[in-house]
A and B are shown apart, each in its own frame.
Chain A
Amino acid sequence: ETGVTQTPRHLVMGMTNKKSLKCEQHLGHNAMYWYKQSAKKPLELMFVYSLEERVENNSVPSRFSPECPNSSHLFLHLHTLQPEDSALYLCASSLAVLSYNEQFFGPGTRLTVL
């Protein structure tokens, strides 16, 4: 595997379900990010992790819970979501948080909340 991978690629869940999104980067980067991409809205930054420590939390509802067990893996735990949370969730990584390097994105997880 190369670059940034995400699983699952598609997820349909009910409002009472609990699920998790997984992201893995194979680039040796130290920073990882979660973004939400909704239809007709700009990409929104949700969380930023640097060396497993959360450094940014962009006023995201508590029904989204990130976890970064090591610098290569990032999870987004989901529970009691709302239909408006349906979106494409993108994971990204970069060399470091305080660098000018671009962020590399994974293929995304298309989430539908019924």
Chain B
Amino acid sequence: ELKVEQNPLFLSMQEGKNYTIYCNYSTTSDRLYWYRQDPGKSLESLFVLLSNGAVKQEGRLMASLDTKARLSTLHITAAVHDLSATYFCAVALTGTASKLTFGTGTRLQVTL
């Protein structure tokens, strides 16, 4: 059974600071997704990581994937209040493209 763990579960950070969210998973996978969810809203796709060593950046967010360590990171640079949301990673088992297993989410709160 694939398990996906994120940490921390809750992160309070000041504007302008940097921080990293970690996503560990238990079984071999060749793709990993990051999503953002605002309170009361749906999930918004942020990144799709498809190979070992993949790195993608969008604004102040950068995601990377290490398939050998079964680890993905979401790095936040110089946080701003607008980044406050819950961030989820999701992993698909190799060969099962449709079945995503989600992490528990990291609730990020950026304070002024």
Query: What residues of chain A have their CB less than 8 Å away from a CB belonging to chain B?
Result: 31, 33, 40-43, 45, 48, 50, 55-56, 90, 92, 94, 97-108
**Cβ-defined contact, B50 with A45, below 8 A:** no
Question: Are A98 and B100 in contact (CB-based, < 8 A)?
Answer: no
Asked if B48 is at the interface (CB within 8 A of a chain A CB), the reply is yes
> Is B33's beta carbon under 8 Å from chain A?
yes
Task: Find A43's partner among B31, B41, B50, B102 (CB 8 Å cutoff).
Answer: B102
Given A102-B33, A107-B41, CB of A42 within 8 Å of CB of B97: no
- B87 contacts the other chain (Cβ, under 8 Å)? no
Give B78-112 as 1s and 0s: 1 = Cβ < 8 Å from A's Cβ atoms. 00000000001010000001111111110000000
Contact A42 to B104, CB < 8 A, known contacts A48-B98, A100-B31, A102-B33: yes
Establish whether residues A45 and B99, one from each chain, have CB atoms under 8 Å apart when the complex forms.
Answer: yes
Docked-complex contact A108 and B42, CB < 8 angstroms: yes
Interface centre among B35, B48, B98, B99 (most CB of A within 10 A): B98
Count residues of B near A (Cβ-Cβ below 8 Å).
22
Q: Does the CB pair A42–B42 fall under 8 Å?
A: no
Contact for A31 among B45, B90, B98, CB less than 8 A: B98
Q: Is the CB of B48 within 8 A of A100?
A: yes
Residues of A within 8 A of B43 (CB): 43, 90, 92, 105
Closest to A3 in B: B42
Given A102-B33, A108-B42, the answer on whether A42 and B98 have CB atoms closer than 8 Å is no
- Asked whether, in the complex, the Cβ of A43 is within 8 Å of the Cβ of B88, the reply is yes
B74 at the interface (CB under 8 A from A): no
- Residues from chain B with Cβ under 8 Å of A99 in the complex: 97
B45 touches A102 (CB 8 A): yes
* A111 → B minimal CB distance (Å): 14
Q: A33-B98, A41-B104 are in contact. List 16 more A-B contacts (CB 8 A).
A: A42-B103, A42-B104, A43-B43, A43-B90, A55-B98, A90-B43, A92-B43, A100-B48, A102-B33, A103-B45, A103-B100, A105-B42, A105-B43, A105-B44, A106-B42, A108-B42
Alpha-carbon gap, A33 to B42, bound state (A): 14
Q: Are B98 and A50 in contact (CB under 8 A)?
A: yes
